[in-house]
A and B are shown apart, each in its own frame.
Chain A
Amino acid sequence: MDSRKDYRAPLSQQPLTIEKPTDLTAIGGTITVEINEKKVVVPLGTTILDACKMAGISIPTLCHHEDLCIAGVCRICVVEVEGMRTLQASCAFPITAPIKIKTSTPMVRKARRHIIDLMLSEHYGECYSCVRNGNCELQNLAKEYGVDGYTFGHVDKPRYEIDRSSYAVIRDMSKCILCKRCVRTCIDLQEVGVLESIGRGDMTHISTFLEKPLSDVICINCGQCINRCPTAALRANDPSDEIWRAIDDPKKHVVIQTAPSPRAAICEEFGMEAGTSLTQELNTALKRIGFDKVFDTNFTADLTIIEEGTELIIRLYKALVGKDASVSLPQFTSCSPGWVKYLEHYYPEYLDNLSSAKSPQQMFGSLIKTFYAQKNGVNPEDIVSVALMPCSAKKFECNRPEMADSGYKDVDYGLTTREMAKMIKEAGINLPEMPKSHFDDPFGEASGAGLIFGATGGVMEAAIRTIVEFITGAKAEDIFANANVVDVRGFDGIKYMEIPLGDKFGPVPGLIAHLVPNWDWLKGATLKVAVAHGTANAKKVMDDIKAGGKFSECHFIEFMACPGGCLGGGGQPIPTTPEIRMKRAQAIYAEDESLELRKSHENPHITKIYEEFLTEGPCSHLSHKLLHTHYVKRGKYII
Chain B
Amino acid sequence: MIMEKTKREGSVIFSEYKRGEGIKAALGKKREDILLELRESKIKGRGGAGFPTATKWMVVAASTAEIKYVICNADEGEPGTFKDRVLLVDYPELVFDGMVIAGYTIGASRGIVYLRGEYEYVRKPLEDYLESMRKDNLLGNNILGKDGFDFDITIRMGSGAYICGEETALIESLEGNRGEARNKPPYPVNTGFFGRPTVVNNVETLAAVSHILVKGGDWFRQHGTDKSTGSKLFSISGDCEKPGVYELPWGTKLSEILFLVGAKNTKAIQVGGASGICLNKTQFDRTLAYEDAATGGSIMIFNESRNMIHILKNFMEFFVEESCGQCTPCRIGNVKLLEGVKMIQSGEYTFDYIEKLIDLGRTMQVASKCGLGQSSPNPFISILENFKDEIFNGNGGYNG
Contacts and interface: CB of A to CB of B under 8 A. Distances in A.
A5 interface: no
Contacts of A115: 328-329, 363, 367
Contacts of B190: 16-17
Interface stretch (B92-100, B171-179, B220-228): B171-179
B327 A74 contact: yes
Given A114-B367, A201-B322, A16 B177 contact: no
B325 A75 contact: no
Interface string A172-207: 000001100000000000000000110111111000
Given A72-B183, A114-B360, A178 B325 contact: yes
B366 A12 contact: no
Contact of A96 (B185, B324, B368): B185
Given A75-B328, A111-B367, A118-B360, 8 more contacts: A10-B180, A12-B180, A72-B369, A92-B183, A96-B185, A114-B363, A201-B319, A202-B331
Contacts of B367: 75, 78, 86-87, 111, 114-115
B326 A73 contact: yes
Contacts of A86: 365-368, 374
A197 to B, nearest CB: 7
Given A17-B195, A121-B336, A73 B320 contact: no
A411 interface: no
Residue from B322, B334, B335 whose CB has the most chain A CB atoms within 10 Å: B335
B386 to A, nearest CB: 22
A114 B3 CA distance: 50
Interface string B311-337: 000000001111111111101111110
Interface in A274-293: none
Contacts of A107: 366
A18 B191 CA distance: 9
Nearest to A112: B367
B329 A114 contact: yes
Interchain residue pairs A-B with the least CB separation, the first 9: A204-B325, A12-B182, A92-B183, A118-B332, A201-B323, A10-B177, A72-B183, A111-B367, A114-B363
A73 B336 contact: no
A177 B10 CA distance: 51
B183 A203 contact: no
Contacts of A201: 319-325, 331, 334
A110 B168 contact: no
A85 B366 contact: yes
B356 interface: yes
A200 B323 contact: yes
Given A17-B191, A197-B178, A110 B363 contact: yes
B359 interface: yes
A197 B186 contact: no
A87 B178 contact: no
5 contacts: A11-B172, A11-B182, A74-B327, A96-B185, A202-B320
Interface string B158-176: 0001010000100110010
B5 to A, nearest CB: 37
B89 to A, nearest CB: 29
A118 B329 contact: yes
A10 B177 CA distance: 7
A285 to B, nearest CB: 41
Interface of A: 10-12, 16-18, 70, 72-76, 78, 85-87, 89, 92-94, 96, 107, 110-111, 114-115, 118-119, 121-122, 151-153, 177-178, 196-197, 199-204
A10 B172 contact: yes
Contacts, number: 138
Given A12-B180, A12-B183, A110-B359, A197 B325 contact: yes
A153 B338 CA distance: 14
A499 B185 CA distance: 49
A78 B327 CA distance: 12
B180 A16 contact: no
Interface of B: 161, 163, 168, 171-172, 175, 177-178, 180-183, 185-186, 190-191, 194-195, 319-329, 331-336, 339, 356, 359-360, 363, 365-369, 374
Contacts of A73: 326-328, 369
Given A11-B182, A11-B195, A202 B329 contact: no
A200 B363 contact: no
Interface majority SS on B: helix, strand, loop or mixed?
helix
Contacts of B186: 16-18, 94
Contacts of B324: 200-201, 204
Contacts of A89: 183, 369
B185 A11 contact: no
B101 to A, nearest CB: 27
Contacts of B323: 200-202
B363 A202 contact: no
A153 B332 CA distance: 12
Nearest to A180: B326
Contacts of B175: 10-11
Q: Name which of B178, B319, B365, B374 has the most chain A CB atoms within 10 A of its CB.
A: B178
A96 B168 CA distance: 20
Nearest to B161: A200
Contacts of A204: 324-326, 331
A119 B328 contact: yes
A105 to B, nearest CB: 11
B125 to A, nearest CB: 30
Nearest to B180: A12
A12 B319 CA distance: 21
B103 to A, nearest CB: 22
Nearest to A9: B177
A199 B323 CA distance: 10
Nearest to A74: B328
B320 to A, nearest CB: 5
Nearest to B169: A12
B336 A118 contact: yes
Contacts of B331: 178, 201-202, 204
A75 B327 contact: yes
Contacts of A110: 359, 363
A12 B177 contact: yes
A123 to B, nearest CB: 10
Contacts of A18: 186
Contacts of B180: 10, 12
Contacts of A74: 327-328
Contacts of B177: 10-12
Given A93-B185, A196-B178, A201-B324, A12 B363 contact: no
Contact of B325 (A16, A93, A200): A200
Contacts of B359: 110, 114
B19 to A, nearest CB: 36
B325 A119 contact: no
Contacts of B336: 118, 121, 152
A75 B185 contact: no
